Amino acid sequence: MSESEHNELTIDLERIIRERAGKRVPGFVIRWLKRFIHEDFINEFLRRGYIGVDFCTKGIEYLGAHLTIEGLDELPAEGRFTFVSNHPLGGIDGVALGGIIGSKYNGHVKYLVNDLLMNIKGLAPLCIGINKFGAQARNLPQLIDGAFQSDNHIIMFPAGICSRKINGVIHDLPWGKAFIQKSVQTQRDVVPIHFIAQNSPRFYRIANWCKRLGIKFNLAQLFLPDEMYRSCGKHFTVRFGKPIPWQTFDHSHSPAEWAQWVQDEVYKL
């Protein structure tokens, strides 16, 4: 692989920032951010050129993470499913689920993710980038519809952001209802997943202080690459529940109420 091809695979944080914020961000800030997100550590893996499901499985190996997987063998080999999980880590959990589910279903999986992740070339083939702001927002409904109409299994974190510490307990914020509506519309059964893990106490302190101070910007998100780095070598448990038939989600409850019900079922696993 040529040097230019290697460079296409790696993250160039400075380029991303310049494209989104122009020259308003000082160089010393960019250099600090490069160190803080462990750009060199990440790029060392990205240069290996793994794509799609291989990217996910090899990524977990690179981090030295250990996974205990429960309930996966009981899932049907046929069908189209919406896999929904709590989101405790904001990084490793997504990569791990892509590898686990993608390996079982021969790569027929798609994430609905923040469009920033499309900058990771090895992961991009599995992703449908969502930008609720910007020019792409006009096409958002069509992108989501296309994903659910396809033959791919869908992986979603309905909370939208990773878990917070609420009253001393690590827990997702209330789940969005879109996965209920789209799963019913496209007749997909829903598979609940409980990913048992947590970030460092520092992460939750920052998130809670932002909430108390009324800071709307998700400052804690900036710490997620460092949280991923801190998780190297750790052990996580992933529990798959039985598929919930799409017909379950009838008019006896609103889609938002059904979403809350599924979230509660996840935490019972």
> Residues 57-87: pLDDT tens digits?
999 999 999 999 999 999 999 999 999 999 9
In the chain the domains, ranked by start, together with CATH numbers, are 1-49 (no CATH), 52-268 (3.40.1130.10)
- Per residue in 115-132, pLDDT (tens digit) is 777 778 888 889 887 765
CA distance 235 to 255: 34
- CB neighbour class for 25 (10 Å; exposed up to 12, middle 13-18, buried from 19): middle
Q: What pLDDT digit, counting tens, does each position of 170-219 carry? A: 999 999 999 999 999 999 999 999 999 999 888 888 888 877 777 666 66
pLDDT band at 231 (very low <50, low <70, confident <90, very high): confident
Contact criterion met (CB below 8 Å) for 204 and 168:
no
* Entry pTM: 0.86
Q: Cβ(84)–Cβ(9) under 8 Å?
A: no
Q: Which amino acid is at 57?
A: T
The pLDDT of residue 137: 56
Contacts of 218 (CB under 8 A, 6+ apart): 161, 210
Return mean pLDDT, the chain.
86
